[in-house]
Every structure is written in structure tokens, then in C-alpha cells.
Chain A
Amino acid sequence: MAFISSGYNPDKPMENRISDIGPRHFSEFLPPVIKNNKGKWLWHEILEPGVLMHKAESGDEVYTVRVGSARLMGVETLREALDVADKHCDGYLRFTTRNNIEFMVDSKDKVQSLKDDLQSRKFPGGSYKFPVGGTGAGITNIVHTQGWVHCHTPATDASGTVKVVLDELFEEFQNMRMPAPLRISMACCLNMCGAVHCSDIAILGYHRKPPVIDHEEVDNLCEIPLAVASCPTAAIRPSKTTIKDSRTGEEKSVKTVAIKNERCMFCGNCYTMCPALPLTDAEGDGLVIMAGGKVSNRISNPEFSKVIVAFIPNETPRWPQLAKVMRQLVDAYVNNARKYERFGQWAERIGWERFFEITGLEFTHHLIDDFRDPAYYTWRQTTNFKF
């Protein structure tokens, strides 16, 4: 493995340096039928799950075949998607915000062979590489974060939980039988890199134990003032303690931190600043389920998701309790909501007391807000409730 230089000279980092050039202009990458009709589209129709047709003023039509993908993708699979685009779509494709891939063709007679090609490609384990679907009143791809694959503060794995849920709900990805779109999102700790707080259903990794302090290493690895400042609830303060040196066995006094456990909200920000404060813990870590949020302004205002399941353990590799809860939620929604009602609108119409009855979820004290001022506005200040 010999080092091969790109041309970069480490002794003169500014030599021939190109910076601040931004991304490529999108117009370089638009398929001709898109470029020619930009800003002149008349209407669209979903011809079947996963296949859209957009009609332009010029009479041109573009047919889009949407497929799901695992967000974590090697270049081998990515190249395979490019092969499909070269073969059927003149070398163009696009990705959606929710990690779907869209293949576009400019006439209807090109759709079937494209679709068949995509559906026929499978991994050795039997899963689809490019399942067609994800349109209309159904489930589309789950947006998610890194999890155990690449993050340092996750309370669960993102790719695994998403795979399990989409396996369980796969027929909904290829169907459009729901009252409205159901958007599911996943974030692997409460920092929510994937902003899941306005999703119909959100799966959220959650720690339940404060960091464990490696007193021997705190002062070696970390700047204590930064660790103290990193805590959003001011639960960390500088401190001193006596420890036994792990090598010499001698007692010594060290600078460290002390943590007020009852103030800890388990965010992991201190671990980011100080690797001597880990909080990952097999028994402590697991999942929270939230529901009833949305971002669209359609019919009613955008809304936040609410916590409806306080804890599900990390039962690797297939999280059976998670899959079961997701199935319960989807079935209850499909069978009870009215046409056009998003998940949260349905829950609000029937009342949350009825929601827990219909879904079969247990309501526990953990689901009553007790965090600062906004909590009050979630309690019930009326006699209008159902038995």
C-alpha cells in the first residue's frame, strides 16, 4: 500500500489551493426533459406505487420510477444504480430527501423495462436492492442517522432498526392504502441529527444512565472547563478525588468532575468533549417511540411528535418489540383514521385516551411531560375527556 499523492503539497498547503467553490450548479445535472420544462409543469399523477408522471405545458412527459435504498451504501451498489441510469435514463438520476433514488425516463414505453430491471436486482440474502415504491398515501423510506455504524453517542443502531421496521411494513412501501402519507423517521440519540421531532412516527435511541466517570483519565484526556460547559443542564462541576493508580497501585489525588445524576438528561454532550465520560450502557440504552407530528401545512398546522412509548430495549439483531409496536400503530391508523387524516390528526380527533385504547399501548407516568415550562400546556385543563 504505497502512498500516492493527489498533487497536494503538505509543506505548502496554500499552493494551488482551490477553496470556497461550493457545489456544482444543479443545472449541469438535470436530464434534458427536466431542463426543457423547468418551471412549466402542469400536473402530475401517480400511475402505480412508485411510478409518477409529470406533464408539462409543452406536452412533454417525464416518468419517474422511485426506489428505496439503504442509506448506508457502498460504492459497488451505488455503481450498480449508475449502471441502471446509464442503461435506461441516459445517465441521469436523482436522490430524494428521504434517501430514495429516482430514475427518470421521457416516455411511457421505457417505464416497464426500467421497473422490471430494478425489481429484479437482489442481494444474496434475498432482499431487493432497488424496491419500487414509496409514493402517495403509504410509507416511504425511513430517514435515519448513523447509529453504531459511525456515531459516538448513539443509544442504538440506526441501520438495523430501520431495516427491521421496513421489513415488517414492506407491503405498505409498495402500496397506497393509507388515509394519508405516513412519514417515519429515526434518530439514534436525543440530539436528533435527523430532526425526527415532526414525524408521523419517530423512532428515537435513548440513554437512561448518566455517564460513568473514569477518574483516572478525566484530567489526562479532557479539559475540565470544557466538559463542565458542555452540559446543557449544568449537572457537571469540577471536583477532586482520590484514586488508586491502576499501574502502581498508589493512592493519588486527581482533578476530575462530579455529576449530579438527577439533573442528567442523557444527551452525551459531555462524552463528545471528554472521552473519559462514556454513557453507552447495554441495559440503559434503548428506544423511545414518538408520534403525531408533521411538517406539511395541509389542512392543519405543522405539529410536534409526542412520546407514546417510553422505552423499548435494544433486542439485537431484529428488535422484535419495536417491530410489533410499529405494526400495532400502523394497523390501528389504517383501520381507524379517515381519508386525509394524518396520524396525529387522527389521534387528536379521537382523543389520546382513546388512542391508547385502540393501539393497545400502555400509558405510564413517563408519558406525562415534566420538563420545564412547556409541560403545563400538555396537561388537561378541561372537563372534556372521554371514559
Chain B
Amino acid sequence: MGGALEKTGGEMEKEAAKQEILNFLESKSGSKTKFYFNDFTKLFPDMKARDVKKALSELVQEEKMMYWSSGSTTLYGLKGSGKKEED
């Protein structure tokens, strides 16, 4: 039972984190659209990096965010944002 409660608490925390990530991206969208993973962990100094990752992965699954890769490194941004030169 304790486990279930904890899980619910974790879920709530994750949902709040997801919203905070989206707010952060919206606030920056004028100047910058792609961010390193570390930029998000800085938003949540008390959260474990792996939990921040879970929130980001879900946002990608929900088609709210997307990855961008240089081939060697990967960045995150809002879906559909950023400059594209290709078609």
C-alpha cells in the first residue's frame, strides 16, 4: 500500500515536472529552441537525473517534444520548433 501511495506521489511529481519543462521551453522559445539534457536537470535540483529523463521521454511519447541530433550529441526541443533548412 505504501508503495502504491509513493507511486502516486511520484506520478504527481512527474506530471508537475513535465509541465515545468514545457513552461521553460515556451519561455525560451524566442531565443533558443534546442537544449541539452543538463539544462533540464538544472530546473530540478532535487530530482534524480533518471527521473528527469523519464519526464522528458514521456513528453516525447506524447508528441509534445522532440529530439534533435548532431550525430554525436542529442538535444531536446518543443515539437515543430527551431530552424530547419531542409524540406
Q: Are A and B close enough to touch in the complex, i.e. CB under 8 Å?
A: yes
Q: Is A225 in contact with chain B by the CB < 8 A criterion?
A: yes
Check A225/B32 contact, CB under 8 A, given A191-B72, A272-B70, A272-B71: yes
- Contact across chains for A221 and B70 when beta carbons are under 8 A apart: no
A226 touches B32 (CB 8 A): yes
A222 at interface, CB cutoff 8 A: yes
CB distance from A15 to the nearest CB of B (A): 13
Q: Which of A200-228 contact B (CB under 8 A)?
A: 220-223, 225-226
What is the interface residue range for chain A against chain B?
A: 10 to 19
Considering only residues 53-78 of chain B, those with a C-beta below 8 Å from chain A are: 61, 70-72, 75
Q: In the complex, which range does the number of interface residues on chain B fall in? A: 10 to 19
Query: What is the distance, in angstroms, from B81's C-beta to the closest C-beta of chain A?
Result: 10
Would A221 and B34 count as touching, CB distance under 8 A? no
User: Do residues A223 and B82 form an inter-chain contact, with CB atoms below 8 A?
Assistant: yes
B32 surroundings in chain A (CB, below 8 A)? 223, 225-226
A residues 220-273 in Cβ contact with B at 8 Å: 220-223, 225-226, 230, 269, 272-273
B86's nearest neighbour on chain A, judged by CB, is: A275
Residues of B contacting A272 with CB < 8 Å?
Answer: 70-72
Among A220, A223, A269, A275, residue most surrounded by chain B Cβ atoms (within 10 Å): A223
Looking at chain A's contact residues, the main secondary structure is helix
Instruction: With A225-B31, A226-B34 as known contacts, state yes or no: A220 contacts B70, CB within 8 Å.
Output: no
The answer, yes or no, to whether A1 is at the interface (CB within 8 Å) is no
Q: Are A222 and B71 in contact (CB under 8 A)?
A: no
B48 sits at the interface (CB 8 A): no
Instruction: Kindly state whether residue B50 has any CB partner on chain A within 8 Å.
Output: no
Q: Contact between B33 and A223 (Cβ–Cβ < 8 Å)?
A: yes
When the two chains form the complex, which single residue of B61, B72, B83 contacts A220, counting CB atoms closer than 8 Å?
A: B83
Q: How far is the CA of A230 from the CA of B71 in the complex (A)?
A: 13
- A residues in contact with B72, CB < 8 Å: 191, 272
A14 to B32 Cα, complex, angstroms: 29
Shortest Cβ gap from A132 to chain B (Å):
36
Least distance between A16 CB and chain B CB atoms (Å): 15
Q: How far is the CB of B82 from chain A (nearest CB, A)?
A: 7
A226 contacts across to B, CB distance below 8 A: 32, 34, 75
Complex alpha-carbon distance, A230 and B85, angstroms: 19
Per CB-CB distance, the 10 closest pairs between chain A and chain B, nearest first, are A272-B70, A221-B85, A225-B32, A221-B83, A226-B34, A223-B32, A275-B85, A273-B70, A223-B33, A223-B83
Provide a sorted-by-A list of 23 A–B residue pairs whose CB atoms are within 8 angstroms.
A14-B61, A191-B72, A220-B83, A220-B85, A221-B83, A221-B85, A222-B83, A223-B32, A223-B33, A223-B34, A223-B82, A223-B83, A225-B31, A225-B32, A226-B34, A226-B75, A230-B70, A269-B70, A272-B70, A272-B71, A272-B72, A273-B70, A275-B85
